[in-house]
């Protein structure tokens, strides 16, 4: 029997198929995704869940003239494969390869760049209103958004606007009842009820109440039903909403059974689905150092509460939830709410740990300033995935936090060098600080096996000298300091080089800095965030303020968006790998 997928490069090829051939194509597309993600890794479950929807949309609509935006975009592998990227799909998320999320510059079919959730309705609405203004009345504008993503503030704001806009948009809610972790909240409860009680969908429908033409819920794996309904919706003008029920991980048994793990499972056996787990030789992920330490602290300190905006597993707050369900709050994809909720807790004497990935905290910048720092509330921000994150790429690198947080008065910013320091600063923070604190740590594994040491208090604003030397001083922050230590060892005459782990980006260790700047004419700063406005900039400001005349070179992430790739490739690209650092230090030695 002929392979249908083999003959499809673009949707125009897909549109030549008969309707009854589409289920076979769906099977082939699933196998293709599984085949490649099994060895190349990536977001599996979400893409498997929307195979039929992807085929139906490209079959019926005139993409890319009709606009299709995938929310988050982690479910768009099928879309990429059917829109000219089948032959390069094996490069997905790899250095120099295609991105793991839709990106405007990659394809005309990627109508909008995504990666952070809940942007699709706003973007599509903007496009639809633009079409109206341009007189393009027959164009379709479609957003596909998941049940976790639609519960976010941005999506609600867009629905509120779209409902009175008369714009020709179709919002497809891909409801699989799970985000990365099971979906939460009142909206999730409503969606669950609508699925079982059809009367609710008719009589008490919150989407209809917002002026949308609502249809559903329908089975998103039933191609004939999907095609019928989408065909009907094509003829209706104005804001429309289709509620589709799918299963995350559909087609791979293991992925259906363990949807959390198979959101992004790493390598796995494509037949059995069994994961191929990397042996990390007893090392621990930073997220787990955080997740396990907070439980230890919470046992002693009953005021501790923990908050995550939809990253229960990713942040390892799942451990806290297991032991203290009443003191752990997964608020869904709601970074802004998470921060202000933490502020509210702090006003009442609780000790809130607000765990947010660096890249997602960008969403809650005003809340950090207005609700936390301005009122000097001692919220403890645990900023995970700080620095480059690898294959997720430009949308997810946590490289801006030092620069965007450093400008905020009252906020302490600390970048621990290793697991033990992370643990100790978590301990210190809950003892009772007078300020909010941002504790930033990276994605992935640490290097210390025995990190579970007795707690020690860290003095706020104190750096540490790691190595003596007379001619050049290197000032670093964060886990990159370990690589700097190795790089110094590689330099000839490493004896001349002094190394300081400044630890705190704010407040800077002024006493130590005065000593350094008086002794060393030449300084190098090293950080895993943007050079512009980062830790190095803070040192330059200090030098200028105190009228020192030192020569300073800043090393960090350059002023450009860094694409996706392995950490090894990316660190090499920005010269923050061992080679890059050591040759830089070598050059500056004289």
Ligand X SMILES: CC(=O)[C@@H](O)[C@H](O)COP(=O)(O)O
- Candidates 66, 147, 330, 392: give the one binding ligand X (CB under 6 A): 392
From 78-86, 147-155, 207-215, 290-298, span contacting ligand TPP (CB under 6 A): 147-155
- Candidates 285, 385, 417, 564: give the one binding ligand X (CB under 6 A): 385
Q: What's the token pair of residue 81?
A: 């494969």
> Among 372, 368, 398, 395, which Cα is nearest to 386's?
398
Across the beta sheet with 380-384, the strand order is 328-330, 304-308, 351-357, 380-384, 437-440, 412-414, 504-506
Among 30, 85, 248, 506, the active-site one is 248
By the rule CB under 5 A, 176 interacts with Mg ion: yes
Cβ proximity to ligand X: between 116 and 240 the closer is: 116
Cβ neighbours, 10 Å, residue 466: 17
Report DSSP state, residue 80.
Answer: H
Gap between the terminal Cα atoms of the chain: 70
CA distance 580 to 486: 12
Residue 561, class by beta-carbon neighbours within 10 Å (0-12 exposed, 13-18 middle, 19+ buried)?
exposed
The phi and psi torsions of 156 (rounded to 5 degrees) equal: -65, -40
Q: How far is the CB of 339 from ligand TPP (least distance, A)?
A: 13
Residues 249-268 that bind ligand X (CB under 6 A): 264
Report DSSP state, residue 280.
Answer: -
Cβ proximity to ligand X: between 131 and 264 the closer is: 264
Q: How far is the CB of 313 from ligand X (least distance, A)?
A: 8
Residues 173-192 that bind ligand X (CB under 6 A): 180
- Candidates 167, 180, 389, 460: give the one binding ligand TPP (CB under 6 A): 180
Cite the beta strand spans of 317-459 per DSSP E.
328-330, 351-357, 380-384, 412-414, 437-440
70 - beta bridge partners? Answer: 144
- Candidates 147, 330, 401, 421: give the one binding Mg ion (CB under 5 A): 147
- Candidates 74, 93, 221, 440: give the one binding ligand X (CB under 6 A): 74
Cβ proximity to ligand TPP: between 144 and 473 the closer is: 144
Report what 385 binds from Mg ion, ligand X, ligand TPP, none; CB cut-off 5-8 Å by kind: ligand X
Q: Is 248 a catalytic residue?
A: yes
- Candidates 72, 167, 255, 513: give the one binding ligand X (CB under 6 A): 72
CA distance 251 to 38: 14
From 248-256, 302-310, 370-378, 385-393, span contacting ligand X (CB under 6 A): 385-393
Q: Is the peptide bond before 64 cis (omega within 30 degrees of 0)?
A: yes
By the rule CB under 5 A, 249 interacts with Mg ion: no
CA distance 233 to 54: 16
Binding map of ligand TPP across residues 339-368, x = CB under 6 A, - = no contact: ---------------------x--x-----
Q: Is 335 a catalytic residue?
A: yes
The phi and psi torsions of 289 (rounded to 5 degrees) equal: -60, -45
By the rule CB under 6 A, 103 interacts with ligand X: no
128 assigned ligand-binding residue: no
Residue 281, class by beta-carbon neighbours within 10 Å (0-12 exposed, 13-18 middle, 19+ buried)?
exposed
Q: Is 186 helix (H, G, I), strand (E, B) or coil?
A: helix
From 174-182, 346-354, 420-428, 457-465, span contacting Mg ion (CB under 5 A): 174-182
Rg of the chain on CA atoms, in Å? 26
What residues make contact with ligand TPP under the rule CB under 6 A? 46, 72, 74-75, 116-117, 146-149, 174, 176, 178-180, 248, 310, 333, 360, 363
Q: By CB under 6 A, name the binding residues for ligand X.
A: 43, 72, 74, 180, 264, 314, 385, 389, 392, 443
Enumerate binding residues for Mg ion (CB under 5 A). 146-148, 176, 178
- Catalytic residues, which ones? 248, 335, 363
């Amino acid at each position: 029997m002929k392979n249908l997928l083999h003959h499809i490069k673009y949707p125009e090829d897909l549109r030549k198929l008969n309707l009854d051939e589409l289920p076979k194509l769906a099977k082939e597309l699933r196998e293709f995704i599984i085949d490649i993600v099994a060895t190349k890794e990536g977001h599996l479950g979400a893409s498997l869940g929307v195979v039929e929807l992807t085929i139906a949309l490209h079959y019926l609509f005139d993409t890319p003239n009709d606009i299709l935006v995938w929310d988050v975009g982690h479910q768009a592998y099928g879309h990429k494969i059917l829109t000219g990227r089948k032959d390069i799909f094996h490069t997905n998320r790899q250095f120099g390869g295609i991105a793991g999320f839709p990106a405007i510059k990659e394809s005309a079919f990627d109508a909008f760049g995504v990666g952070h959730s809940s942007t699709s309705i706003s973007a599509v609405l903007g496009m639809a209103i633009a079409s109206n203004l341009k007189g393009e009345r027959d164009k379709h504008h479609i957003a596909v958004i998941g049940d976790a993503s639609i519960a976010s503030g941005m999506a609600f704001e867009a629905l509120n606007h779209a409902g009175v806009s008369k714009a020709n948009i179709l919002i497809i809610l891909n409801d699989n009842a799970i985000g990365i972790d099971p979906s939460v909240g009142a909206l999730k409860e409503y969606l669950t009820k609508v699925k079982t009680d059809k009367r609710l969908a008719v009589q008490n429908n919150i989407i209809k109440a917002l002026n949308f033409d609502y249809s559903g819920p329908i089975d998103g794996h039933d191609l004939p039903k999907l095609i019928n309904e989408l065909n009907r919706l094509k003829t209706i003008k104005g804001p429309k909403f289709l509620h589709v029920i799918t299963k995350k991980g559909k087609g791979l048994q293991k992925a259906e059974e363990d949807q959390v793990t198979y959101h992004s499972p790493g390598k796995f056996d494509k037949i059995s689905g069994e994961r191929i787990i990397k042996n990390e030789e007893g090392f621990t992920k930073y997220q787990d150092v955080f997740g396990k330490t907070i439980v230890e602290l919470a046992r002693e300190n009953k005021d501790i509460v923990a908050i995550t905006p939809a990253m229960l597993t990713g942040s390892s707050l799942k451990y806290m939830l297991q032991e203290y369900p009443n003191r752990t709050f997964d608020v869904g994809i709601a970074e802004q709410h998470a921060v202000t909720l933490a502020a509210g807790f702090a006003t009442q004497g609780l000790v809130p740990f607000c765990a947010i990935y660096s890249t997602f905290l960008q969403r809650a910048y005003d809340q950090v300033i207005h609700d936390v720092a301005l009122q000097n509330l001692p919220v403890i921000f645990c900023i995970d995935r700080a620095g480059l994150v690898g294959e997720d790429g430009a949308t997810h690198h946590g490289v801006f936090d030092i620069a965007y947080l450093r400008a905020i008065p009252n906020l302490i910013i600390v970048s621990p060098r290793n697991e033990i320091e992370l643990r100790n600063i978590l301990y210190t923070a809950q003892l009772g600080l007078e300020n909010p604190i941002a504790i930033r740590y990276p994605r992935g594994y640490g290097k210390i096996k025995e990190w579970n040491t007795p707690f020690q208090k860290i003095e706020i604003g104190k750096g540490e000298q790691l190595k003596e030397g007379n001619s050049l001083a290197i000032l670093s922050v964060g886990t990159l300091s370990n690589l700097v230590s190795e790089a110094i060892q590689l330099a000839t005459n490493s004896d001349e080089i002094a190394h300081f782990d400044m630890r705190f980006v704010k407040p800077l260790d002024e006493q130590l800095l005065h000593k350094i700047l008086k002794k060393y004419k030449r300084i190098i700063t090293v950080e895993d965030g943007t050079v512009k406005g980062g830790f190095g900039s803070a040192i330059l400001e200090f030098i200028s303020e105190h009228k020192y005349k030192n020569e300073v070179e800043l090393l960090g992430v350059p002023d450009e968006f860094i694409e996706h790739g392995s950490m090894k490739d990316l660190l090499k690209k920005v010269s923050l790998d061992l080679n890059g650092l050591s040759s830089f230090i070598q050059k500056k030695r004289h």
